[in-house]
Amino acid sequence: MRRVYVYKGFERFWHWSQASLIIFLALTGFEVHGTFDILGFEYAARYHRVASWMLIGLIVFAIFWHFVTGEWKQYIPTTKNLMDQIRFYSYGMFKGEKHPTNKTEVKKLNPLQRLVYLGFKLVLIPVTVISGILYMFHKTIDRNDIVVINEFSLESLAFWHTLGAFLLMIFLVIHVYMTTTGHTPTSNIQAMITGYEDLEDEEDKTTEKSGTPE
Ligand code: HEM
């Protein structure tokens, strides 16, 4: 094993602030939805909007960071070892089998993570954020009687936004569970806090140099 700096400072900041904002947006959003009553509708709606602008700002910085550092390449999907990875998570790990893929600093994500995180970034987050922005302006513009975004009914925007919110919550639960499947139950979480993780030494040097997926 060798100690490797896997997650850079910005990456960790982005990960934890995105997680906190999504949880906060879920709490305030589901209060707006009427699921529970803690802050009261007015405050919940107000804080939801403030947090949503913070999330949009964070996403802009994260897109910039991914392209400037070339980290976007980590998410290029691959089918190589995909079935092995699914098999491992389904029952291999319960029988104490070894991880079918090796993690390195330039190959941080296994084939299943690549696919799931790409879907998260390209589908789930955009559906929730775009429907949220349209929801926001639909209401504001409506309030002033100047209806510009009238192609989308408020009901359909609320539907897509709430669907995105539900899927994000499902993602969160599965994601937190999956973090415990590293070398030790807390090794992945510790790595996202400190940046460092103990990784196996036998990675493929050629892939590591080229930085391209398998
Ligand atoms: C940039 C991102 C987002 C924007 C711009 C946004 C915007 C909005 C707006 C404008 C509303 C209507 C309430 C109001 O008038 O203030 C709303 C409601 C809601 N939001 Fe968001 N939101 C965003 C992200 C999220 C996230 C990440 C979640 C959950 C994980 C979420 C969950 C909800 C829920 C459940 C509702 C209630 C929907 C309904 O029943 O009508 N939102 N959002």
Q: What are phi and psi of 184, to 5 degrees?
A: -130, 165
Triad 57, 59, 54: Cα angle to 5° = 35
- Going by pLDDT thresholds of 50, 70 and 90, the confidence category of residue 14 is very high
CA of 57 to the centre of ligand 1 (A): 16
Measured CA to CA, the distance from residue 137 to residue 45 in angstroms comes to 14
Closest CA to 44 of 22, 26, 18, 17: 26
Kindly give the distance from the C-alpha atom of residue 19 to the centroid of ligand 1, in angstroms, as a whole number.
15
Determine the residue type at 76. Answer: I
CA dist., res. 7 & res. 105, Å (int):
8
pLDDT tens-digit readout, 158-201: 999 999 999 999 999 999 999 999 889 999 999 999 999 998 87
In the CATH scheme, what architecture does the domain 2-210 have? Up-down Bundle (1.20)
Q: What is the pTM of this model?
A: 0.89
Cα Rg of the chain, angstroms: 20
- Name the token pair of 30: 């589901």
Residue nearest to atom 37 of ligand 1 (CA): 33
Domain residue spans of the chain: 2-210
Averaged pLDDT, 5-20 = 97
**The one-letter amino acid at 60:** V
> What's the burial of 128, exposed, middle or buried (CB within 10 Å: 0-12/13-18/19+)?
buried
Q: How far is the CA of 161 from the centre of ligand 1 (A)?
A: 6
- In eight-state DSSP terms, residue 121 is I
Per-residue confidence band for 143, with pLDDT thresholds at 50, 70 and 90: low
The residue whose CB lies within 8 Å of the most ligand 1 atoms, and thus the one to mutate among 36, 42, 52, 59, is 52
Q: Which residues line ligand 1 at a C-beta cut-off of 6 Å? A: 22, 25-26, 29-30, 32-33, 45, 48-49, 52, 55-56, 128-129, 132-133, 135-136, 139, 158, 161-162, 165, 168
